[in-house]
Amino acid sequence: MDSRSKLIDLAAFLDRVQRAGQEGDFRVQALKNAIALLSQDQPQRAKDVLLSFSDPSTAPVEKAAMQGAIGAYKK
Amino acid sequence: MNYIEPHGHMVSRTTDDYERMAIAGCQAICEPAFWAGYDRASAEGFYDYFRQITEYEPKRAAKFGIQHYTWLCINPKEAEDLALADDVIALIPQFIDKPGVLGIGEIGLNKNSRNELKIFEQHVQVAQDYDALVLIHTPHLEDKLKGTRLIVEALKNFPKIKPERVIIDHVEEHTIDHVLDHGFWAGITLYPESKCTPNRAIDMLEQRHAEQIWMNSACDWGISDPLAVPKTMQAMRQRGWTTEMIQRVAWDNPRKFMGQSEKFKL
């Protein structure tokens, strides 16, 4: 029931975003890419979803441009 | 069942929370130095904060029969200012020998910048110089993977720092293996939205057989739950965990890690 509720809530969120014309937001795109990972066969969906949101670069940045995090890496 | 809260920012919580934690079985709380929600204006602000968490919070906790332990540092969010960071790190020796100070933390990275990494390494040097335990914060959300890798790599530059005396906190499914496979302890944080739920935490604990892992609430000034640990203990029962298994994570593991400091008396 808990997962069903969360899934419907996610679906409703995407509906809301689309009605608001915000589908192009990189965070929405990242969410949709992550959702596609749920259909895979191996039991590492949670890990793969987190990896899909993550900054893949390895070198430190020159300076912190902001203090907060957003939730998805902007390419 | 008694438990230990290994990571709680009680300076931002009310006495109601202490009371509820005591009723739920909390015997000890460990409070790392952290970001206040805003950038402090000077090192003097940190001096007062260190006094608060090493002197006043232990007294407040004691009124509820809870032992209180502390960690010291300048947090990663304020580490971009190198001059401020240098001044704050210079304060640490004045406090590190106080009863209840377990070590250096919660150091780490925030946006994975060069300055943050420099200050992280300065803290690790202090920990090495004082043979102190180390508690590390890994970045939030999309920055966590990169930050965890940078942290583990940086620690290799300190051969006298033993991995079993370092806990890398706020691990999630994509970072926990990297932390544990390098011999460090891992902390799973039960925090709404930005970190783990009880069921995810239990999944990870089962996958890694609860070895060298603790769980914490990291309750702070944000929307967070100081009872996240006992609530997860209840979720464990509902998933069929035995009393011994629950005790291992909620009591034995934090006691084992922090017992490496002679100041931890539980």
Taking the C-alpha atoms of residue A56 and residue A75, their distance in angstroms, rounded to an integer, is 10
Write down the residue that tokens 């965890």 correspond to: B148
Query: For residue range B62-84, what is the model confidence (pLDDT) as tens digits?
Result: 999 999 999 999 999 999 999 99
* Other beta carbons within 10 Å of B145: 25
Q: Return the pLDDT at B34.
A: 97
B112 Rama sector, left if φ>0, alpha if ψ -120 to 50, beta otherwise: left
Give the bridge partners for B134, in sequence order.
Answer: B104, B166
Query: For residue range B196-254, what is the model confidence (pLDDT) as tens digits?
Result: 999 999 999 999 999 999 999 999 999 999 999 999 999 999 999 999 999 999 999 99
Contact check, Cβ <8 Å, B112/A54: no
Chain A nearest-CA distance from B80, in A, is 7
Does the residue B265 lie in any domain? Answer: no
User: Widest CA span of chain A, in angstroms?
Assistant: 46
Does the residue B266 lie in any domain? Answer: no
Contact check, Cβ <8 Å, A73/B200: no
Q: Return the pLDDT at B221.
A: 95
Number of inter-chain CB pairs under 8 A, A vs B: 73
Does the residue B189 lie in any domain? Answer: yes
ipTM, interface predicted TM-score of the complex: 0.96
Range name among A25-29, A64-68, B129-133, B157-161 with the lowest pLDDT average:
A64-68
Q: Chain A residue closest to B75 (CA)?
A: A67
pTM, whole model, 2 decimals? 0.97
Phi, psi torsion values for B132, nearest 5 degrees: -95, 155
Query: For residue range B128-177, what is the model confidence (pLDDT) as tens digits?
Result: 999 999 999 999 999 999 999 999 999 999 999 999 999 999 999 999 99
Residues of B in contact with A68 (CB under 8 A): 140
Q: Closest CB to B80: pick one of A53, A54, A63.
A: A63
- Token readout for B56 is 């006043």
Does the residue A5 lie in any domain? Answer: no
Query: For residue range B5-29, what is the model confidence (pLDDT) as tens digits?
Result: 999 999 999 999 999 999 999 999 9
* Other beta carbons within 10 Å of B121: 14
Residue range(s) defining the domain that contains residue B217: 3-258
Chain A nearest-CA distance from B58, in A, is 30
Residue range(s) defining the domain that contains residue A28: 23-53+67-75
Does the residue B263 lie in any domain? Answer: no
Does the residue A17 lie in any domain? Answer: no
Question: Of B48, B44, B10, nearest to B29 (Cα)?
Answer: B10
Residues listed for chain B = 266
Write down the residue that tokens 């926990």 correspond to: B176
- Token readout for A71 is 């939730």
Does the residue A40 lie in any domain? Answer: yes
C-alpha distance from residue B91 to each of B74, B86, B123, B157 (Å): 10, 9, 12, 24
Does the residue A58 lie in any domain? Answer: no
* B interface test, pick of A6, A55, A57, A75 with most B CB neighbours within 10 Å: A55
Give the bridge partners for B4, in sequence order.
Answer: B28
Query: For residue range B181-193, what is the model confidence (pLDDT) as tens digits?
Result: 999 999 999 999 9
Q: Return the pLDDT at B63.
A: 98
Does the residue A43 lie in any domain? Answer: yes
Burial of B20 per CB tally in 10 Å (0-12, 13-18, 19+)? middle
Peptide bond into B116 cis (omega under 30): no
Q: Return the pLDDT at B96.
A: 98
- Token readout for B154 is 């940086």
Rg (CA), chain B: 17
**Chain A: residues touching B (Cβ < 8 Å):** 44, 46-47, 50-51, 53-58, 60-73
Q: Tell me if residue B107 falls in helix, strand or coil.
A: strand
Contact check, Cβ <8 Å, B145/A51: yes
* B interface test, pick of A9, A29, A49, A50 with most B CB neighbours within 10 Å: A50
Contact check, Cβ <8 Å, A60/B144: no
Interior angle at CA B245, CA B67 and CA B64, nearest 5: 20
Q: Closest CB to B174: pick one of A50, A57, A70.
A: A50
Number of structural domains chain A divides into:
1
SS (H, E, C) B169-185: CCCCCCCHHHHHHCCCE
Q: Closest CB to A71: pick one of B114, B142, B174.
A: B142
- Token readout for B95 is 């406090």
Assess whether pLDDT exceeds 90 at residue B266: no
> Which residues does B102 contact at the CB level (< 8 Å), separation at least 6?
B30, B69, B70, B71, B132, B133, B135, B258, B261, B263, B264
Does the residue A38 lie in any domain? Answer: yes
Does the residue A9 lie in any domain? Answer: no
Contact check, Cβ <8 Å, B140/A64: no
* Other beta carbons within 10 Å of B229: 29
Taking the C-alpha atoms of residue A12 and residue A2, their distance in angstroms, rounded to an integer, is 15
Does the residue B58 lie in any domain? Answer: yes
Does the residue A11 lie in any domain? Answer: no
Number of structural domains chain B divides into:
1
Q: pLDDT tier at A36 (50, 70, 90 boundaries)?
A: very high
CATH number at residue B205: 3.20.20.140
